Amino acid sequence: MSSNDFGIGFPQPVFLRGARAINRKTRGHGTSNVVLPNEGCGPSQVVSVEAILERKGLQHYSSQPDVVRVTGQVGPIKYVNAEGNRKEHTFDLFVVRSDGHKTLVAVKPFETAVRDRLDLTLQQIAACVPADFANEVALFTDRTISRQQQVNNSRYHAIRRIDDQEAELAVEGAVRQLKGSTTISDLVDAVGLAGRAYGAILNSIYRGVLHQVSDGLIDYGTIVRSGAMS
């Protein structure tokens, strides 16, 4: 049943298919369909990932303001290993930034990456990747970002899909009046929209309108200051 059956007529999400079949028997498997809202008027995009760590990597990259597109399971990329044998590797994520910079990302638990010397394998692959296909090869592990940042990213992705222009404009107005630093709690009080203000403040931090001064989990005690205003 589609939205048209109810007369709503909103654009259906676009599923971005990966380049390989998902292996549901691997350790740490946790298939997710991550919805990435379109900032314009087009449909949202849905990226399927096959592990919890991949979802964290997808949220990490797609939450960065200069990233315009993230897809999953790109490849296979042909390369020659240290023994001179021809191999293939499918990358877990493909990140495209607003300046056109493209990154192939391998996602692995840190201990697995160290044990398998994945850094050497990625160096061999990077030497064989055509320049017009990708600019760099990167590794994302469970140690790339802190657990607090993982929670921040997850909260942001839950909130960013809520279109609350009234709260966004109210927060921007409060930020323009901001002198120095303040806590999110005080800023919420100044805006006067309670939880709606918190969501708009979190969005503003990720968009660069606000700058997070104190590290760690973004909560009501977090210190912020004015960032880049358009």
Distance CA 70, CA 103 (A): 10
Cα separation values, 209 from 20, 54, 74, Å: 38, 28, 33
Best CA proximity match to 201, nearest among 183, 214, 179, 215: 183
- Count the Cβ atoms, other than its own, within 10 Å of residue 100: 8
pLDDT for 25 = 58
Say whether pLDDT at 7 is over 70. Answer: no
Q: Which CATH code, of 3.30.70.3270, 3.40.50.2300, 3.40.50.880, 1.10.10.10, is assigned to 165-226?
A: 1.10.10.10
pLDDT for 27 = 58
Tokens 């109210």, residue located: 170
Class assignment of domain 3-145? alpha beta
Instruction: For residue 1, name the pLDDT band (cuts at 50, 70, 90).
Output: very low
Pull the structure tokens for residue 3. 């939205």
* Residue 49 β-bridge partners: 32
Q: pLDDT tens-digit profile of 113-165?
A: 999 999 999 999 999 999 899 999 999 999 999 999 999 999 999 888 888 99
Residues in the chain: 230
Pull the structure tokens for residue 59. 């949220």
Which is more confident, 102 or 4?
Answer: 102
Q: In sequence order, what are the residues at sequence separation of 6 or more whose Cβ sits closer than 8 angstroms to the Cβ of residue 159? A: 199, 202, 203
Distance CA 32, CA 52 (A): 8
Say if residues 111 and 141 touch (Cβ distance below 8 Å).
Answer: no
pLDDT for 49 = 78
Instruction: For residue 12, name the pLDDT band (cuts at 50, 70, 90).
Output: very low
Pull the structure tokens for residue 132. 């017009």
Q: Spell out the alpha helix ranges (H) of 46-194.
A: 52-62, 110-115, 118-126, 147-159, 165-176, 184-191
Going edge to edge, which strands form the sheet with 223-226?
Answer: 181-183, 223-226, 210-212
Average pLDDT value for the chain: 85
User: Domain extents for the chain?
Assistant: 3-145, 165-226
Distance of CA 1 to the CA centre of its chain: 30
